[in-house]
Amino acid sequence: MKSRIAKIISNRGYCSRRDAEKLVLAGSVKVNGELACDVATNFPDDSIITVNDEEVRPFNKTRLWIYHKPLGVITTRKDPQGRKTVFDAFDSSEHLVSVGRLDINSQGLLLITNDKTLAAHLENPANNFVRIYKVRFFGKIPDKLFDVQKGIEIDGVRYKPIKLKVLKQGINSWCEMQLSEGKNREIRKILEHFDLQVNRLIRTQYGPFKLGDLQEGEIKEINYVKSSCGEFKK
């Protein structure tokens, strides 16, 4: 199989595809001993690749971490405003990616991996990995909110059915919402549609992985067994 050089470098965990393209254009990349000058050229995926004369080898082991993302931390590689990112918490020299995102005002379970193929598999809605959130908002839970269990369309966007469980009713109410997809700011947009203002959002589970008693900012690496991206073992 052949791929563009930047994709091969990125898949080997060296850096992002965009940064790999910059390295190629800077004349820092060689493929099988020859200088790579064109980012559009395809090469065999098993090619010997060097960056600044150091070989970029495929990673030997898929690694996966559960990270309890705190409030105020953003899910991005680099932030022009200099804010703290989720990757600042990791010492790994490998190029890591997050499985999906949590916005700056959300917290809870965020999966981090060195395997982009695994990340894409876990993110794909077709694979039905459940995301579970605890949500707090102002006011009591209205009966009409249970309409989300049948699926709902908002501003032309169709959302799949969401399982809803009441945890607490009061001035501030809590509920648990179980999703099988992860559209951008899905929970916040849905609750805003029902005139409910979210003031806390915590992801507690993603697929088979649970936050448990992991505290804010803590990281737990899990044992991972991969078979066509279909088997997981803690």
Active-site residue set: 103
CA quadruple 100, 96, 58, 52: dihedral, nearest 10: 130
Beta bridge partners, 175, equal 135, 166
Residue 199, SS3? strand
Token digits for 19? Answer: 């940064």
Beta bridge partners, 142, equal none
Burial track 51-90 (b if 16+ CB lie within 10 A, e otherwise): beeeebeeeeeebbbbbbbbeebbbebeeeeeeebbbebe
Q: Kind of pairing, strands 198-206 and 107-113?
A: parallel
The Cα–Cα gap between 159 and 149 comes to 10
**Are 104 and 69 a contacting pair, CB within 8 Å?**
no
